[in-house]
Amino acid sequence: MWKSIKTICTVAWKWILVIAGIAGVILLLAILSGYFREKVDSKPQGSIASTFEGTQIPEGAEFAPVVEVTQPRYESAVGAIKPVHEANVASKILARVLEIRVSAGQRVTKGEVLARLSDDEQKSRVQQAEADRDSAVAQFQLAQIEAERVRQLEQSRSASQAELDVATTRLKTTQANVDRANRAVEEAKVYLDFATVVAPFSGIVVDKLVQTGDTVTPGQPLLTLYDPTHMQLVANVRESLATKLEVGQTVPAQLESMGYECLATISEVVPKADVFSRSFEVKVSGPCPPGVYSGMFGRILIPLDDEQLLLIPESAVQRVGQLTLVQVLSDGQLARRSVQLGRKIEDRMEVLSGLKAGEQVLVPSREIKDPAP
């Protein structure tokens, strides 16, 4: 029995210590929070709210109305400048590079020689084709003589009609062989021309991909060329907007790095959406300013529904710490009011909340100082 009483006392003593510890912590927090200090007025005389509430209007004060305007709303789609005409100038034969005549950034004209490849093999093919042609011509001339001789004999009944038919057929065959030999010569000369690589159009060389001495294969790019006079902006537009755009429609376009804006014409809406971004490629073209290069950043502005804006002069806005304030004319007196601002439009600010259309706000001038409390 005494053992049970002793156990109960021990447990009770532990609970007393826990409760006392909790009470001590609560008391310490109350002291630190100023619970036992004398309360002060929550709105002192020097606060912003009371200082400018009902302030008299200074002499010469100027006011501006809160203006409600309607303007078109746009959504921007970013993209990059790309040339309309761009080509990878490639080799059409297996050969060694003898000479590269251009470098990156160089302007070239249509037909200008860009590179030369070794042409020994092509020259040999031309000579072989010409020799085959000469042989075919000789066979054709012999067939002509034989056919004429058989025709004369047939007229004198010294040769049969069958012999004449054979001679005529041989003549036609040799004539076909001559035609085939001529085509082979032309083909060989075309391959010989492939050894001289020329510009397909006038433009700027973006990069050269081979060096003198390299061996190139058919289809291997040698140079990249683009036409700087025909450029386009290719932007990714989300599918809900892209489906509403039409070829020939004009939209605003911007090149921010150059500070350039213009009206561009939609030239193409690629009828395939990207499965990851759910967007369509939209290509626009327009007047191209000097100094535009492939890959530069740009954006197009897609028109949406019109929006209503409240605007006030930027000079009417006062900033006190993190607060944005204006002084509003109310019942013949000034009252300072907190407002939430949006975008800056020229020399005016968009008001998101805090003001209504038609209200008058004070526009401070150099002579007008902030009214005293």
154-211 confidence digits (pLDDT tens): 777 777 778 777 788 888 888 898 899 999 999 888 888 888 999 999 999 988 899 9
347: Cα separation from own chain's centroid: 30
User: Per-residue pLDDT tens for 4-33?
Assistant: 666 766 767 777 777 877 877 777 777 766
Q: Which residue has the higher pLDDT, 313 or 331?
A: 313
Instruction: Tell whether 130 and 189 lie within a shared domain.
Output: yes
Q: How far apart are CA 223 and CA 124, in angstroms?
A: 27
Instruction: Tell whether 124 and 190 lie within a shared domain.
Output: yes
Instruction: Tell whether 124 and 187 lie within a shared domain.
Output: yes
Which CATH number fits the domain that encloses residue 252?
2.40.30.170
Domain-ending residue, one of 194, 221, 254? 194
Instruction: Tell whether 299 and 321 lie within a shared domain.
Output: no
Which residues fall within 8 angstroms of residue 282, CB to CB, at 6 or more apart? 77, 79, 234, 235, 236, 237, 242, 245, 266, 268, 269, 270, 300
Which CATH number fits the domain that encloses residue 174?
1.10.287
Q: Is 106 contained in some domain?
A: no
2 — pLDDT class (breaks 50, 70, 90)? low
Instruction: Tell whether 127 and 142 lie within a shared domain.
Output: yes
Span 283-296, mean pLDDT?
84
Instruction: Tell whether 132 and 184 lie within a shared domain.
Output: yes
Share of the chain above pLDDT 90, in %: 19
Instruction: Tell whether 313 and 331 lie within a shared domain.
Output: yes
Distances in Å between the Cα of 161 and the Cα atoms of 16, 142, 145, 153, 293 are 142, 20, 17, 10, 76
Q: Is 235 contained in some domain?
A: yes
| Domain enclosing residue 255, as ranges | 231-303
Q: Is 273 contained in some domain?
A: yes
Residue 4, pLDDT score: 65
Does 77 have pLDDT greater than 50? Answer: yes
Q: Is 33 contained in some domain?
A: no
Instruction: Tell whether 235 and 291 lie within a shared domain.
Output: yes
Instruction: Tell whether 128 and 159 lie within a shared domain.
Output: yes
293 — pLDDT class (breaks 50, 70, 90)? confident
Domain-ending residue, one of 278, 303, 328? 303
Instruction: Tell whether 254 and 272 lie within a shared domain.
Output: yes
Q: Is 4 contained in some domain?
A: no
Which residues fall within 8 angstroms of residue 265, CB to CB, at 6 or more apart? 248, 249, 250, 284, 285, 286
Residue 191, pLDDT score: 87
Instruction: Tell whether 249 and 292 lie within a shared domain.
Output: yes
Residue 199, pLDDT score: 92
User: Per-residue pLDDT tens for 257-278?
Assistant: 888 888 899 999 998 888 888 8
Q: How far apart are CA 144 and CA 170, in angstroms?
A: 9
Structural domain total, the chain: 3
Q: Is 297 contained in some domain?
A: yes
Q: Is 172 contained in some domain?
A: yes
Which residues fall within 8 angstroms of residue 262, CB to CB, at 6 or more apart? 252, 253, 286, 287
User: Per-residue pLDDT tens for 160-176?
Assistant: 778 777 788 888 888 89
Domain-ending residue, one of 194, 219, 243? 194
Apex CA 285: angle with CA 73 and CA 230, to 5°?
160
Q: Is 280 contained in some domain?
A: yes
Which CATH number fits the domain that encloses residue 336?
2.40.420.20
